[in-house]
Structure 1
Amino acid sequence: MHFLPEHIDNYVVKHSENEPELLQKLNRETHQKILQPRMLSGDYQGRVLSMLSKLIQPKYILEIGTYTGYSALCLAEGLTKGGELHTIDVNEELVDFQRKYFDASPFGEQIYQHLGNALDIIPELDHTFDLVFIDADKPNYINYFHAIIDKLRPGGIILSDNVLWSGKVAEPINDKDTSTKLLVEYNQLLKEDSRVETVILPIRDGLTISRKL
């Protein structure tokens, strides 16, 4: 979903950092072989994630929702020396696909894959995180927030993807549209929760930056 006029969006992409070669390959193979390739972060948002991670310089990153590993590799670009990225997904069929690209990158030994329900796995992770990226099943965003907020260091950052949901969050909600309803509630939670300060960026399908106070 692009909220900018096409010619402006094209200009923004053209004058931003180029997609690294390995991620170009991952992008192509995802579109060729994997179902629902629109779930991929994509080249421009990937460069945004990379830049934010480099600015934060995290030692420990948590990603909820790996898919084919594109966003994990982007976030890993900002890891400090000896840092770790822990990424969680429920799809067993994508584990080997992810690992192939992780190992082809400079960050293979720093990326740890976790297979299963994030709400079961997060309590078992023995780290205080500097950066968390939430990009999984939308109805659980509120549950993920409550699961990770006490594992985030003061000053740490939560990035939440797809928070504008093709603009549906600003339109009348169908009672049967659970994802939109829960995203609206999630966005309101981030606005009102006194533990974080939040801004929404209209990047692609909406990206929220929340900083723990």
Structure 2
Amino acid sequence: MHFIPEDLDNYVVNHSEDEPELLQQLSRETYQKILQPRMLSGHYQGRVLSMISKLINPKNILEIGTYTGYSALCLAEGMKSNGELHTIDIDEELFDFQRRYFDKSTYGKQIFQHLGNALDIIPKLDMVFDLVFIDADKENYSNYFNAIINKLNTGGIILSDNVLWSGKVLDKTFKKDDTSTPALIEYNALLKNDKRIETVLLPIRDGLTISRKM
């Protein structure tokens, strides 16, 4: 989704950092072989994630929702040399695909995959994080926030993707079987009102929120 005219959006992309070759390969193969390739973070948002991570220089990163591994590799670009990135996904069919690209990168030994329900896995991770990226099932965004907020260092950052949901968050008449839109409306209100964090919502692609733990 474009929140600015497409030609201006193209100008923004063309005047941002180039997409690394490995990520170009990952993107091509995702579109060729994997269902719902639009779930990929993609060139521009990937560079945004990379830049944010480089500014934070996190030691430990948690990603909820791996998909084919594109965003994990972007976030890993800013990780400390002794850091770890833990990424959780429920789709076992993508596990080997992710691993192949992780191992092609310079961060392969620092990226740890977890397969299963994130709400079961997060409490078992015996560490605290400097950066968390939430990009999974929208119905559980608030639950993911509550699961990770006490595992986030002071000054740590939570990035939340798809928070504008193609503009549906403005729709007060969503369909009864639409569980994602009301969940995101609730989540956006949670981020705004929770006194433990400060939040800015950016109209990047489908909406990206940056929340900092106070």
TM-score normalised to structure 1 length: 0.99
Provide the residue aligned with 2:42 in structure 1: 42
Instruction: Quote the RMSD (CA, aligned, Å).
Output: 0.6
Tell me if 1:59 matches 2:59.
yes
1:205 aligns with 2:206: yes
Indicate the residue corresponding to 1:155 in structure 2. Answer: 155
Structure 2 gap ranges (5+): none
Q: 2:192 is matched with which residue?
A: 191
Question: In the TM superposition, what whole-angstrom CA distance separates every residue of 1:22-77 from its partner, at most 9, and x where no partner exists?
Answer: 00000000000000000000000000000000000000000000000000000000
Q: How does 1:9-24 map to 2 (within 5 A)?
A: 9-24=9-24
Post-superposition shift, 1:174? 1.7
Count of residue pairs brought into register by the alignment: 213
State whether structure 2 residue 136 is matched by structure 1 residue 136.
Answer: yes
Cα deviation code 1:70-90 (max 9, x no counterpart): 000000000011100000000
* 1:16 partner SS: coil
Contact residue 173 and residue 180 of structure 1 kept, 8 A: no
| Residues in 2 aligned to 1:172 and 1:121: alpha-carbon distance in whole angstroms | 34
- Residue 74 in 1 paired to residue 74 in 2? yes
Amino acid at match of 1:11: Y
Q: What is the CA distance between 1:173 and its match in structure 2?
A: 3.3
Distance 2:127 2:96 in 1: 25
- What is the percent sequence identity of the aligned residues? 77
CA drift of 1:175 comes to 4.8
Q: TM-score with structure 2 length normalisation?
A: 0.99
AA aligned to 2:146 is H
Partner of 2:89: 89
The CA distance in 1 between the partners of 2:192 and 2:125, in whole Å, is: 27
Aligned-partner Cα distance in 2 for 1:2–1:27: 20
Residue identity matched to 1:57 = N
User: How far apart in 2 are the matches of 1:168 and 1:3?
Assistant: 13
Once the two structures are superposed, what CA deviation does each residue of 1:149-200 show, in whole Å capped at 9, x if it has no partner? 0000000000000000000001223252210000000000000000000000
Q: How far apart, in 2, do the equivalents of 1:170 and 1:73 lie?
A: 32
Q: Which amino acid aligns with 1:65?
A: G
Asked if 2 retains the 8 angstrom alpha-carbon contact of 1:173 and 1:181, the reply is no
C-alpha separation between the residues in 1 aligned to 2:145 and 2:22? 31
The CA distance in 2 between the partners of 1:86 and 1:127, in whole Å, is 10
